Every structure is written in C-alpha cells, then in structure tokens.
Structure 1
Amino acid sequence: MTDTVSRPGPAASEAIRAEPHGSVARWTLDPRTTLALLLGANVVIMAPGGMRFVPATLIVGVLLALSERAWRRAVELPVAATTLAAAAYLLPSAAAWPVFGLIAVMAGYALRLVAVGGIAAYLIQTVPPTRFTAALRAALLPSALTVPAAVMLRFVPTVVAEARAVRDAMRLRGLGGWATMLRHPVRSVEYFTVPLMASSLRAAEDLSAAALLRGLGSQARPTSMRPPRFGFRDVVAGLVVAALGIVTLRWRPAR
C-alpha cells in the first residue's frame, strides 16, 4: 500500500490537505520530532510547577512559526501570552474581588494552552496525515494508537471547516452575530449545532470510506513512498530545546 490518496467526498475535501510533493524537503522537522516536542511540552507545562516552562515553550513555538514563515502566528503567540499573563498575575493585585480571582485562574490555565498550542499549530500545518501516519508506524506504535491519531488529525480540520461554513450560512440569513445570540441564545445554538452535526456525520462517513480505501487498520504493514528520517534540522531543534530546558531549570528569579 502506497501513499496515493483517494479523494474523499466534498464535505471533507477542504479539510484534508494533500501532501505536497515538492515542499516536503523544506525546513520542517521530522513528524516524530514535532510529536515528541508537543508531548514533552504538555507533560512539563501541565505538571505541578509547570508555569516556569511556559516562556521556553513559547520561544519554541515562535521559532517553529518563524521556520514555517507563519509571521502572523509568530506575532500572535507572544501577544496572546502577554495578555493572559497580565490577566493572571496583575489583575488580582488590582482589586481583591472574587471575579478577578476567577478570571486570573482561567487566564493562567489558558496561558499554558496557548504555549502548547504554538507547537500543536506547527504540527497541524506542516505534517500531512500521510506523513503523520508513516511517522507513527516508524516509531513502532501499535495500531490502537496510530489509527485514532490519524483519524483525529483528519477529522478535526473537517469539523473546523464545516463550522465556518455553517457560521457563514447563518450570517447570510441574518442569524449570526452577537446581538442575535444574546436575544435568542437557545435558538442560535440550535441553528448552529444541528447543521454542524449533520455535516460532521457526512464528513465522518467520507473519511471512513477514504480510510478503508487506503488500507488503514489492515493487518499488512503499508510502505511509504517517503519514509520519515531524522536530519540535521531535528538535531538543531533538540539542541535548542535542551538549552532552553537547562536555562529554565537553572534560572532563579531575583529576590
């Protein structure tokens, strides 16, 4: 079985990105390296005392965005992190109100998600599903982990694309906007949720058919036309991450 893609139905065609034939050799990391960075960042940041690793994770996310030439994300990550950090640490000192304390707690948790989201966005934008599945197989992971990960990588962009289509359709009919949601919240949720669920079910059927045609879940081990390989870029990324980790562990705030 090769990496030839069988094009799914129209509901999922916009979300499933075909693997670029000429741009695979650009400055992108091996999918296993990116996945290891994402899992490692989740472990250290979500652990107790993991807030100290947020700056290092943000730096990694910005560097990955710059390597991908995603200039907008490279600017949005530090701006969003600075805003959330100000809400988490400066807002409670402004006034001792319980509402400010609740907002600070939520902003602190959102700050961790934003830091990890920079690496996750790089993984989604640079790793097509075919390369991601090949990388998971090369890492000798069982099918119980490979198949759900491949399906989720394809299905999540499909749901996002369908949600945008439903939102645009609601706006064309004058049902969108914050004013309408505030006046008729239940009706707005109903108008948005029902079409999204129907289109997502159709997209899931298309993705299931495409997965069966590609042999996903078969007993035979498929081969890849471009097997994943570690390179110089992965070594550089590992050295940068190791240096940031050492600096974070050895840094002590001035008292």
Structure 2
Amino acid sequence: MSGWTPDPRTVVALLLAASITVMAPGGVRFVPAALTAGVLLAISERAWRRAIGLPVAAGIIAAVAYLLPSVAAWPVLGFAGIVTGYALRLVAVGGIAAHMIRTVSPARFTAALRSARVPSAVTVSGAVMLRFVPTVVAEARAVRDAMRLRGLGGRWAMLRHPIRSIEYFTVPLMASSLFAAEDLSASALLRGLGSHTRPTSMHPLRFGPADAVAGVTVGMLVAVTMLWRSGR
C-alpha cells in the first residue's frame, strides 16, 4: 500500500467520530467540518464528481431545511424542514462513508476491526455487509436491465401495473441474492472467518504520514468549529 493511503483504522475511527458528533443533539454545528472532511477525502482519491456533488447537495438540502420554513408558517414546510435537517447530517456523514467503501477493502476492514480487539460477531457481520451490499446492488441492476429488455420495466409500466412490476423485480432479486449469500458464506468459511485461531493479514496494518495528516486536519476542523461557535 502507498504511504499516503490512510490506514483503515483511521478511516473507521473518523467515520465513527463523525457519526457520533453529527447525529448527537446539537451536532448540526459539526456538519460543515464533517462535510469538509468528506470533500477532502474525495479529492485525495480523485473522486471529482463526489467532491463537487457533496457541497452542492448539502447546499440544496440546507436551503430547504432552513430557508423554506421561514417562507410561511405551514406545518408541511416545518415537517419538510425537520426531515431535510436530518438528511443534511446524513449527507455529511455519507461522504466519509463513501470514501471508506471505495478505498477500504473488506479484508483490510476486517483486519482493522480485528486489530482493534472488536468482537468477532461485529467483525464478521461488517465484512459480510461490505461484500453482500455491492453484490445485491449489481444483481438489482441486472434484473432491472433484464426487465427493460422484455418491456417490463420503466416508469410507465410501474404506474400501469405496480404489483406485477414489483413481483417481476423482487422474485429474481431474492433468488439471485440467495445464491450470492451461499457463495459468500462458502468464501467466508474458506477465509477462516469465525474460527478460533486468529488469521494473519497479507498486508500488515501500519500508521503512516497520511494518518498524521488526517489527524491534524480533523483537529483543525474541530478547533475552527469550536472557535466559530464560541465567537457567535
């Protein structure tokens, strides 16, 4: 691994810290810091579309959350402001989560949790989730493409025959997901997940310069947030 690639333990700790602070009561003040961290992580992996999309999406959601309820004192607008306010927090944390999903492989993620003395029940569940979710997404896209080729997909077909469209989509997806789950279970057993013997890693985890840069950057973002809050 490159020396400028953050250790997966750093990325997981950053995601947990951002989730706890942003989702806590009064955590809206940490949304800009978490959003900035997500943009910087996207720039570090050259994910330009995400680096641009995160602030744009956050700006639109913030406008709906804080400007729309001030237009009129309608209950519907107030409810929309509350929902979009939580959506803004999810977007801020989602930028960091997207970076972890794109850069941290399930093997390195499992090794990071194992080195942090996390119980095996959580470690195995997290590894299976990281491998199973992309598989289900790929299978869902394949089923959707197959439906379109047979003239069963599309918005108009969903509106004309909603129950039939859901049936044609759900049944093949469930069947393919079951086959994928069996393959993942066999792969997990071959890799030694759940065994009493602690497995070794082909790429030992080490903290490097990227982790130091990430720590300093996060500290600066937290300090700026606290100073900005106290100065208001």
Q: TM-score, normalised by structure 2?
A: 0.95
Unaligned runs of 5+ in 2: none
Partner Cα separation in structure 2 for residue 152 and residue 252 of structure 1? 37
Match of 1:7 in 2: none
| CA offset digits 1:108-152 (Å, max 9, x no partner) | 111111111100010010011111111111112221221111111
Whether the 8 Å CA contact 1:167–1:176 is kept in 2: the answer is yes
Partner Cα separation in structure 1 for residue 147 and residue 72 of structure 2? 40
1:113 matched to 2:90? The reply is yes
| CA offset digits 1:66-110 (Å, max 9, x no partner) | 000001110111111111111111111223332222222221111
Partner Cα separation in structure 2 for residue 181 and residue 27 of structure 1? 47
- How far residue 254 of structure 1 moved from its aligned partner, in angstroms, is 7.7
Q: 1 or 2, which has the higher helix percentage?
A: 2
Q: Which moved more, 1:31-40 or 1:243-252?
A: 243-252
Whether the 8 Å CA contact 2:3–2:208 is kept in 1: the answer is no
Bigger relative CO (Cα 8 Å, ≥ 6 apart): 1
The alignment partner of 2:70 has SS state of helix
Q: Which amino acid aligns with 1:247?
A: V
1:200 matched to 2:184? The reply is no
Match of 1:228 in 2: 205
Q: Which moved more, 1:155-164 or 1:117-126?
A: 155-164
Percent identity between matched residues is: 72
Whether the 8 Å CA contact 2:29–2:229 is kept in 1: the answer is no
* Superposition misfits of 4+ residues, deviation over 3 angstroms: 252-255
Q: Which amino acid aligns with 2:181?
A: A
Q: TM-score, normalised by structure 1?
A: 0.87
Q: Which amino acid aligns with 2:63?
A: A
1:77 matched to 2:49? The reply is no
Q: Equivalent residues in 2 for 1:151-230 (5 A)?
A: 151-230=128-207
Q: Which amino acid aligns with 2:155?
A: W
Aligned length: 232
Q: Which moved more, 1:107-116 or 1:167-176?
A: 167-176
Q: Which amino acid aligns with 2:85?
A: G
| CA offset digits 1:146-203 (Å, max 9, x no partner) | 1111111111111111111111112222222222222222222222222111111111
Match of 1:95 in 2: 72
Aligned-residue Cα RMSD (Å) equals: 1.5
Question: Which residue, 124, 127, 139 being the options, matches 2:116?
Answer: 139
